[in-house]
Amino acid sequence: MGKRILVAGAGHGGLAAAADLARRGYDVTVFEQNKREDLGYDWTDIFAPRSLLAANVPYPPRAKYEYKENMTFFSPSQSIGLKQDIPEKELEIKMERKDIYTHLLSHAEKCGVKLRFSCKIKGPVMLGSRVAGLFIDGGETVYGDLVIDAAGLDSPVRTALPPVCGVENDVGSFEQFFSYRAFYERTGDFEPEDKFKVYLLHEGEMGVVWLATEDGHADVLIGRFEPFGMDEVNRVLDLLKRNNPQIGGKLVRGGSFAKIPVRQPLSVMVADGWAAIGDSAFMTIPLIGSGIANSLKASHMLVKTITEDKDSAFTAATLWKYQREYFKQLGNGHAAMAVMKLFLLRLNPYELDFIFEKGILTAKEFTISSETTNIQSMLKLSFKEFLERAKSVCTDRILLTKILKVSSRLASTFAITAMMPRTYNRAAVTKWADTYTSFFTKLEK
Ligand SMILES: Cc1cc2nc3c(=O)[nH]c(=O)nc-3n(C[C@H](O)[C@H](O)[C@H](O)COP(=O)(O)OP(=O)(O)OC[C@H]3O[C@@H](n4cnc5c(N)ncnc54)[C@H](O)[C@@H]3O)c2cc1C
């Protein structure tokens, strides 16, 4: 019998890693609090399909997905809309969240993963500084050689790890997006020019609102950096309907609140007997909140690290390779995008309007998808374009100061992420993690 691996929560990356490990002979069990039929939200998600192949998961049946529409990003005054033009090879797919789960679960079962539903995890079992298992609601204790933490943003495992593990437990302000998502009946039969609208600082509020007009419904998402309730949802809907009469009054699907991490990746993703993946390790793209593709890509890196650990020690030292690889391929770029997110948050609606009007940001920069892994690929400017935009920025001194500040912060981010220790040494890792975390903490103030 192979080593025993416990997966906390049926997160996307956790399920993909579970399948790949079970296929390779590990004894893998997933513990999920929900019933099987209740997994996933009642809405569609957008992600890069190639991430499934990266995780050794086959493509879903063609009938189960469509290609996503390009999004049009609107300035706060709504006078300018910049439409993406995602290249064909980077097109993302749109799929029902429940179908993504059905696909991942049936693949995991075929590979030999044991799935335990309606099984709420209370916290980690610690033996000294090692995570040795999981406490399950109802009094059960399960032990394993490794716990893969795929239990999401508020994971009961990560949030309860003792300080000796050196892992951040909590999520700071401006690091999570509170969102409401609902599908409303669609009224009228006209085709809007922009089928997928994203409003930045909608009506001056810090956050975004999107409206995707589909054949049978209007898909609305409201996102804020503070929790909000139905009064705010109804207020925003009324404002949105003024320019979008296709949003009907009847709620047809969804209609729930959920959180999305929108921050730099977790500073330390591994400990003795523990590795985090997906939202638990904050693997979303901070500017857009897409996390499915990254967690699938991360599953391959984690499986590779686990299988290369020939003694199955699964210590922070042997699992460190996983963290290094994640940051190298994705995390370093996402940390820089977290800095950009904080910059955009500090702009007032007038400054953002100015940026749209003067072409300082264009549709090219908004052509961002779950395949966008770094700032450089977002800002592909020719020298001439750079000079033209710099000239416009120089006409607004306050904006110029903010842009110079964010440029130096981006340079610091690259320097800090490049300093991540190559091999695991507790003191060196703790020192590096403190520098990385305090850099972002200061930026958020
Ligand atoms: C409104 C909204 C829209 C989004 N749209 C997109 C999109 O279009 N594309 C995209 O890529 N991403 C999107 N995301 C983000 C995406 O949901 C996550 O980044 C992605 O699912 C990765 O998270 P995860 O699978 O690691 O964690 P989760 O999806 O949070 O899954 C964690 C699992 O752990 C389980 N769990 C938690 N606690 C316990 C416990 N105590 N015991 C047992 N089980 C537990 C949960 O029930 C859940 O099944 C969206 C998120 C929201 C909220």
What number does the ligand 1 atom closest to the CA of 180 have?
A: 1
Atom of ligand 1 nearest to the CA of 280: 26
Establish whether residue 333 lines the binding site of ligand 1, counting it when its CB lies within 6 angstroms of any ligand atom.
Answer: no
With a pLDDT cut of 90, the percent of the chain lying above it is 79
Checking if the pLDDT of 386 tops 80, the result is: no
- Give nearest CA residue, ligand 1 atom 21: 292
Task: Give me the count of residues in the chain.
Answer: 445
Distance from the alpha carbon of residue 299 to the mean position of ligand 1, in angstroms: 15
Which tens digit of pLDDT belongs to each residue from 21-35? 999 999 999 999 999
What backbone torsions phi and psi does residue 70 show, to the nearest 5 degrees? -65, 145
Position 194 scores a pLDDT of: 94
So what's the pLDDT on residue 304? 98
What is the whole-number distance in angstroms between the Cα of residue 210 and the centre of ligand 1? 19
Q: From the DSSP assignment, how many helices (H) and strands (E) are in the chain?
A: 12, 19
Q: What is the pTM of this model?
A: 0.95
The pLDDT of residue 379 is 67
- Ligand 1 centre to CA of 430 (Å) is 28
Find out whether the beta carbon of 73 lies less than 6 Å from any atom of ligand 1: no
Strands 270-271 and 274-276: antiparallel
What are the C-alpha distances in Å from 250 to residues 115, 217, 247? 37, 10, 9
Report, as an integer, the average pLDDT of 404-424. Answer: 94
What are the φ/ψ torsions at residue 231 (nearest 5 degrees)? -60, -45
Ligand 1 near 120 CB (within 6 A): yes
CB distance 258 to ligand 1 below 6 Å: yes
pLDDT at 90: 83
pLDDT of the residue at 299: 98
- Mean of all residue pLDDT scores within the chain: 93
Between CA 227 and CA 221 the distance in angstroms is: 14
Going by C-beta distance under 8 Å and a sequence separation of 6 or more, which residues neighbour residue 317? Answer: 423, 424
Q: Please give the residue that has the higher pLDDT: either 389 or 262.
A: 262
Average pLDDT score over residue span 429-440: 96
CATH fold of 4-66+92-169+266-331 reads: FAD/NAD(P)-binding domain (3.50.50)
The answer on pLDDT for 432 being more than 60 is yes
The Å distance, Cα 425 to ligand 1 centre, comes to 32
Domain residues of the chain, as ranges?
4-66+92-169+266-331, 176-261
pLDDT > 90? residue 88? no
Q: How far apart are the CA of 444 and the centre of ligand 1, in A? A: 24
Distance CA 111, CA 32 (A): 18
Model confidence at 20, in pLDDT bands (50, 70, 90)?
A: very high
Instruction: Report how far residue 356's alpha carbon sits from residue 201's, in angstroms, rounded to the nearest whole number.
Output: 13
| pLDDT tens figures, 161-177 | 999 999 999 998 789 99
Q: Are 35 and 117 in contact (CB under 8 A)?
A: yes
Of 249, 248, 239, nearest to 214 by C-alpha is 248
227-259: per-residue pLDDT in tens? 999 999 999 999 999 999 999 999 999 999 999
Q: Is the CB of 150 under 6 A from ligand 1?
A: yes
Ligand 1, atom 4, residue with closest C-alpha = 45
